[in-house]
Structure 1
Amino acid sequence: MIVWLNGTHGAGKTTTSALVQQLLPDARVLDAEKVGEVLMDVRPGLPATDNFQHWEPSRPLVIETARRVLEFTGGTLVMPMTVLVESYWREISGGLIEYGIPIRHFVLHADQATLRERIQNDKVLGPSTFRFSYVEPYAEAARTWLHNEAEVIDTTHITAAEAAQQIADSVLCR
């Protein structure tokens, strides 16, 4: 099974995924952003973009990486990755489903003011123009499709540990 943690940059996916891993038996974190980092290291020749997900190979590589890791390790993969383009989510989730891999899709949500405050005051990354640039696209995706495709965990007033517990409880109860 894959437990996919979606949401915009700054929502707490990375922190929460590590906590979810501790709460689910035989779980491992696979940060699919690393697939994008591999592509970003390919030089020269890839077209300029602000998001590696726009490169055609990125989505099939995420699918294949997850499938191969699950085939090798078994258990549950906890995958933190922002996917705000509906067609990209359909391609990734559809590809995983074709391989018979069940997906539990969660969105870590926070209101815009909270997201902006978290990004501005991030102790590790500091304020990030890149992360700020995704606040509005996230809001648009949430309004138009994303919240209908996932279990939404509102993190505005809860800790990452509380969010992780909600996710683990949901996964273990089904």
Structure 2
Amino acid sequence: MIVWLNGTHGAGKTTTSALVQQLLPDSRVFDAEKVGETLMDITPALCRTDNFQHWPPWRSLVVETARQVLDYTGGTLVMPMTVLVEPYWREISSGLARHAIPLRHFVLHADQETLRGRIEGDTDMGPSAFRFRHLEPYAEAARTWLHSEAEVVDTTHLTPAEAAEQIAGSVRRDVGTRGARGAGEG
């Protein structure tokens, strides 16, 4: 199974994913950004872009890498990754479905003021224009498609630990329900 944590910068994906991993047995964190970093290291460089997600190989390699890792390890992959372009999300989610990989999609949400404050106060990465530029595209995606495609976890007033428990609890309930249905069938 894949537990995908979506949302814009400052929502808490990285911190929460590590905590979700601790709460779900046999799970690992897979940061799909590393796939993008690998593509950025190709020389000569691929065509210029401000976002490696625009490169079609990124999307297919994320699916294939997740599939290969799950085939090798089993269990659950917790994937913290912002995807705000609906066709890209459709490509990734349908690719996972073609491999019969169950997908739980969560969006970590916070209001714009909270997100700005978190980005400004980030002591690890510091404030960045790149992160601020994604606030409006996130708001647009949230309004038009993203929130209807996922379980939304409003992190505005939650600690990362509380958000992680909410996500892990939802996943455990879902797995328990599927297990109970499977045990009653047949």
TM superposition score normalised by structure 1: 0.99
Spell out, residue by residue over 1:19-45, the C-alpha distance to the aligned partner (whole angstroms, 9 max, x if none): 000000101000011000000111213
- Whole-Å separation in 2 of the counterparts to 1:50 and 1:57: 15
Match of 2:106 in 1: 106
User: Any idea what SS the aligned residue of 1:57 has?
Assistant: helix
Over aligned residue pairs, what C-alpha RMSD do you find?
A: 0.5
- Whole-Å separation in 2 of the counterparts to 1:83 and 1:49: 16
Alignment of 1:137-148 (within 5 A): 137-148=137-148
- Whole-Å separation in 2 of the counterparts to 1:133 and 1:44: 27
Percent of residue pairs bearing the same amino acid type: 76
User: Any idea what SS the aligned residue of 2:10 has?
Assistant: coil
Match of 1:61 in 2: 61
Match of 2:6 in 1: 6
Spell out, residue by residue over 1:9-68, the C-alpha distance to the aligned partner (whole angstroms, 9 max, x if none): 121101000000000010100001100000011121311111100011110000000000
TM superposition score normalised by structure 2: 0.93
2:85 maps to 1:85:
yes
Tell me which structure has the larger Cα radius of gyration.
2
CA drift at 1:166: 0.1
Alignment of 1:24-43 (within 5 A): 24-43=24-43
Match of 1:52 in 2: 52
- Whole-Å separation in 1 of the counterparts to 2:162 and 2:107: 14
- Whole-Å separation in 2 of the counterparts to 1:82 and 1:120: 19
- Whole-Å separation in 2 of the counterparts to 1:94 and 1:6: 16
User: Any idea what SS the aligned residue of 2:45 has?
Assistant: coil
- Whole-Å separation in 1 of the counterparts to 2:24 and 2:69: 17
Match of 2:97 in 1: 97
Aligned residues: 174
> Unaligned regions of 5+ residues in structure 1, if any?
none
Match of 1:158 in 2: 158
Q: Could you tell me which amino acid in structure 2 is paired with residue 124 of structure 1? A: D
